């Protein structure tokens, strides 16, 4: 059985330790994306490259990233776990895989990986590069190290001017940094039968749907504390809650029930009749945006940094978030300036904002209309990325 078909824990560790290696793919493009968010952002680039006849091998770090890649990148995908960055492991992967180019998503700067590519004369390009608020002080303080470590990277394609400036502050030569925008914009709305999905959630087709996307520990409780206010304003409100991590499904279910609410679980696959629906499955969230009336993007109520609001915006849905949106600061600020997002400063503001949207449907419609317009203005990122890497692409491999 090929390594990329494994999803169990033992295979994960075998691949991390290079005791199990992917099949050789001489001349392939090695694409690395850490987890779910990075896999989602590079998906349009992956599809564009494979359509052009290139063989692409994906590496990930997390089990959720592996599973998401299998779901969204198609049956031709070859994927494996990235080896630990310890002496010998990266070198063994490079020797086996024999890539012609490494495309490194966001900030996956692994010194052993970069050294192995340098020794084997494999060009490295940083794509969709982002230097977060949290990591930048550490990078800047050790710029003397990163200046040398990042030398094998022939080019960085930064998400924003701020990211470009931070790369330069870390010691990267300015002529190796280009600003092309965020690949996360290169997405399209999922193909879904919205009417059928809407009726699956609510057989009457009349209940307003509040979608709470990608919650983390502590955020579910905060939402439950706000819910009585919203329910008081809208008696037939249906809340759909989607925990970020599957290991929390049962915990969140118990929490909702402990607050006295009727709960249904997505996996029950029956006619729902409840206050809350818990989505205890992966890969469903993107479709749910297309039927939601109000969207709260979690990961923002606690200091997580937020999650991607564009999956909602591409479905014509504006979003409401808490204050912690630093992982998507530029996107969220742009959406807020164009009235496609509401960033609440605290839980009380978030509760008030959602309550206002429930009471003023015209304001809610305007929020969604602005989100749709916002996405129409964000074209060309994928084409710019492909143009920048074109000179380094190997000859297409016969699929």
Q: Check for a shared fold between 3-186+380-392 and 194-376.
A: yes
The b/e string for 119-137 (b: 16+ C-beta within 10 A; e otherwise) is eeebbbbbbbbbbeeeebe
Asked if 121 and 97 count as a contact pair (C-beta separation under 8 A), the reply is no
For residue 269, is pLDDT > 80?
Answer: no
pLDDT band at 398 (very low <50, low <70, confident <90, very high): low
Mean pLDDT of 106-121: 94
Residue 393: exposed, middle, or buried by beta-carbon count in 10 A (0-12, 13-18, 19+)?
middle
Mean pLDDT of 173-201: 92
Give the up-direction half-sphere exposure of residue 310: CA atoms within 13 A in the CB hemisphere. Answer: 24
pLDDT reported for residue 8? 56
Q: Which of 58, 64, 116 is nearest to 91 (CA)?
A: 116
pLDDT reported for residue 300? 97
Mean pLDDT rounded to a whole number for the chain: 93
Q: What are phi and psi of 175, to 5 degrees?
A: -75, 0
> Which CATH number describes the domain made up of 194-376?
3.40.50.2000
Residue pLDDT, tens place only, 79-88: 999 999 987 9
For residue 7, is pLDDT > 60?
Answer: no
pLDDT reported for residue 343? 98
pLDDT reported for residue 378? 75
Mean pLDDT of 30-56: 93
**Tokens matching residue 171:** 């010691």
For residue 6, is pLDDT > 50?
Answer: no
Domain definitions of the chain by residue range: 3-186+380-392, 194-376
Q: Which CATH architecture has domain 3-186+380-392?
A: 3-Layer(aba) Sandwich (3.40)
Percent share of the chain, pLDDT over 70: 96
């Amino acid at each position: 059985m090929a390594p990329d078909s494994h999803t169990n824990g033992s295979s994960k560790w075998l691949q991390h330790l290079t005791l199990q290696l992917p099949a050789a793919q001489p001349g392939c493009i090695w694409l690395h994306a850490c987890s779910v968010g990075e896999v989602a952002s590079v998906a349009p680039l992956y599809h564009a490259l494979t359509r052009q006849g290139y063989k692409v091998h994906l590496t990930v770090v997390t089990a959720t990233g592996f599973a998401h890649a299998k779901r969204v990148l198609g049956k031709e995908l070859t994927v494996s776990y990235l080896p630990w960055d310890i002496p010998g492991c990266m070198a063994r992967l490079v020797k086996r895989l024999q890539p012609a180019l490494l495309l490194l998503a966001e900030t996956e700067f692994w010194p052993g990986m970069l050294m192995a590519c340098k020794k084997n004369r494999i060009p490295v390009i940083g794509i969709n590069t982002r230097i977060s608020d949290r990591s930048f002080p550490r990078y800047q303080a050790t710029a003397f190290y990163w200046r040398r470590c990042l030398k094998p990277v022939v080019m960085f394609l930064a998400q924003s001017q701020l990211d470009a400036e931070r790369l330069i502050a870390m010691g990267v030569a300015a002529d190796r940094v280009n600003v092309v925008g965020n690949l996360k914009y290169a997405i399209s709305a999922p193909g879904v039968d919205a009417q059928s999905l809407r009726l699956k959630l609510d057989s009457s087709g009349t209940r307003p749907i509040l979608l709470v996307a990608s919650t983390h520990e502590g955020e579910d409780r905060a939402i439950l504390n706000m819910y009585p206010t919203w329910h008081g304003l809208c008696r037939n409100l249906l809340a759909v809650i989607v925990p970020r991590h599957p290991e929390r499904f049962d915990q969140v279910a118990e929490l909702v029930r402990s607050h006295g609410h009727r709960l249904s679980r997505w996996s029950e696959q029956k006619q729902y009749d409840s206050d809350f629906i818990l989505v205890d499955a992966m890969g469903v969230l993107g479709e749910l945006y297309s039927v939601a009336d109000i969207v709260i993007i979690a990961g923002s109520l606690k200091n997580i940094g937020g999650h991607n609001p564009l999956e909602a915006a591409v479905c014509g849905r504006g979003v409401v978030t808490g204050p912690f949106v630093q992982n998507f600061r530029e996107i969220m600020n742009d959406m807020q300036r164009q009235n496609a997002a509401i960033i609440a400063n605290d839980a009380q503001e978030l509760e008030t904002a959602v309550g206002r949207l429930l009471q003023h449907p015209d304001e809610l419609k305007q929020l969604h209309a602005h989100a749709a317009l916002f996405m129409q203005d964000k074209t060309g990122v994928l084409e710019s990325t492909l143009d920048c890497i074109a000179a380094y692409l190997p000859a297409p491999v016969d699929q």
